């Protein structure tokens, strides 16, 4: 079978479409899935150069979320799963024609999600849920400001914040991204100059900042928080983390909160299952639906990574593998 393989940490150029051994026969409690589509995420891009906190051993195959069809099951797994389309999750390994995984890595697809959207659903929605509900304690009527609101992660936070009754201000760098955020439920948008962000108009008015961007936006965004506000640190799309003067947290009585949605589930599996059930319910109700801004065939996966890297992508990128 074929898979995209990374043998050295050399960025997108290190990706190689390779012939690899077939996925192994499933052992007890496992299933083999023919992958239909994989949604790409920023951690996938960072792993290509060793820039993410989780560094898989070389060689590895990228891909942490997708959708596939069960083609074989191991001992103890009901045969009724054969032929079923399933959401698939893993820290890596999914950008391949087939994978064998523990049953815990598979789950039913919410009926409201078509295949391509399902492939791009879990990571953004789960991060938004753990950030806003669990860590951020968002309440209806609060003011949520989302940075990077035109990307897959940001749009998930916009949609969830709106569904929870928050007033959402979406910050994004292009008109297309701001329009996507408005369609996802934002009440207001702010244009962001990536080199010199200016949020003076929002100063002291925000309850929660959702920040997957970092970089030059951090200090201006911190100043938008009112007393008792919460700053959610999601990631660093803009590059390396920046130093934060802790006196700002003291003077404004704010919380600086780190969010790792996947790690939260690994540390507390029961809570992780509850978080997944919550986002699947919202998807089934039509309240969470990812925007897929780019679809490419399996052979063109590097072009999707490039669109993520250059900042032009609105929403998520999905790589089609099998029949979708």
Q: What is the rounded CA–CA span in Å between residue 185 and residue 162?
A: 5
Per-position b or e across 218-229, b if 16+ CB within 10 A of its CB: bebbbebbeeeb
pLDDT, tens only, 221-235: 999 999 999 999 998
Q: What is the pLDDT of residue 256?
A: 95
Per CATH, the architecture of 2-121+290-320 is what?
A: Alpha-Beta Complex (3.90)
Q: What is the rounded CA–CA span in Å between residue 50 and residue 63?
A: 15
The pTM for the full model equals: 0.94
**Token pair 């009527």: residue:** 141
Q: What is the pLDDT of residue 152?
A: 94
Q: What is the pLDDT of residue 287?
A: 94
pLDDT, tens only, 206-264: 999 999 999 999 999 999 999 999 999 998 887 778 888 888 889 889 999 999 999 99
Q: Judging by beta carbons within 10 Å of its beta carbon (0-12, 13-18, 19+), is residue 257 exposed, middle or buried?
A: middle
pLDDT, tens only, 126-160: 999 999 999 999 999 999 999 999 999 999 999 99
Percent helix, strand and coil across the chain, each to the nearest 5: 35, 30, 40
Determine phi and psi for 203, rounding to 5 degrees: -55, 125
Top-tier CATH class for 123-262: alpha beta
Q: DSSP letter at 130?
A: I
What residue ranges of the chain are covered by domains with CATH 3.90.180.10? 2-121+290-320, 123-262
Is the pLDDT assigned to residue 311 strictly greater than 70?
yes
Integer angstrom CA distances of residue 82 from 32, 119, 144, 233, 280? 9, 19, 43, 40, 22
Is the pLDDT assigned to residue 313 strictly greater than 90?
yes
């Amino acid at each position: 079978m074929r898979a995209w393989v990374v043998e050295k940490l050399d960025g997108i150029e290190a990706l190689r479409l390779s012939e690899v051994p077939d996925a192994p026969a499933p052992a007890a409690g496992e299933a083999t899935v023919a992958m239909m589509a994989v949604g790409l995420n920023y951690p996938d891009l960072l792993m290509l150069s060793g820039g993410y906190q989780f560094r898989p051993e070389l060689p590895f195959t990228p891909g942490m979320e997708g959708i596939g069809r069960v083609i074989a099951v191991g001992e103890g797994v009901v045969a009724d799963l054969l032929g079923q389309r399933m959401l698939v999750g893993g820290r890596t390994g999914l950008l391949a024609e087939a994978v064998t995984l523990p049953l815990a890595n598979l789950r039913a697809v919410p009926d409201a999600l078509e295949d391509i959207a399902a492939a791009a659903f879990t990571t953004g929605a789960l991060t938004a849920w753990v950030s806003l509900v669990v860590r951020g304690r968002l309440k209806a009527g609060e003011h949520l400001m989302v940075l990077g609101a035109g990307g897959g992660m940001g749009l998930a936070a916009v949609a969830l914040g709106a569904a929870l009754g928050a007033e959402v201000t979406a910050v994004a760098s292009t008109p297309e991204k701001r329009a996507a955020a408005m369609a996802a439920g934002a009440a207001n948008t702010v244009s962001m100059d990536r080199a010199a962000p200016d949020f003076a108009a929002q100063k002291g008015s925000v309850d929660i900042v959702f920040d997957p961007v970092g970089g030059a936006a951090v200090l201006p965004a911190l100043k938008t928080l009112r007393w008792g506000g919460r700053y959610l640190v999601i990631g660093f799309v803009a590059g390396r983390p920046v130093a934060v003067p802790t006196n700002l947290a003291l003077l404004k009585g704010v919380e600086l909160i780190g969010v790792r949605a996947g790690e939260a589930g690994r540390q507390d599996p029961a809570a992780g299952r509850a978080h997944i059930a919550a986002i699947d319910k919202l998807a089934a109700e039509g309240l969470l639906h990812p925007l897929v801004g780019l679809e490419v065939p399996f052979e063109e996966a590097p072009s999707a990574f490039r669109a993520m890297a250059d900042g032009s992508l609105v929403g998520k990128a999905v790589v089609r593998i099998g029949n979708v």
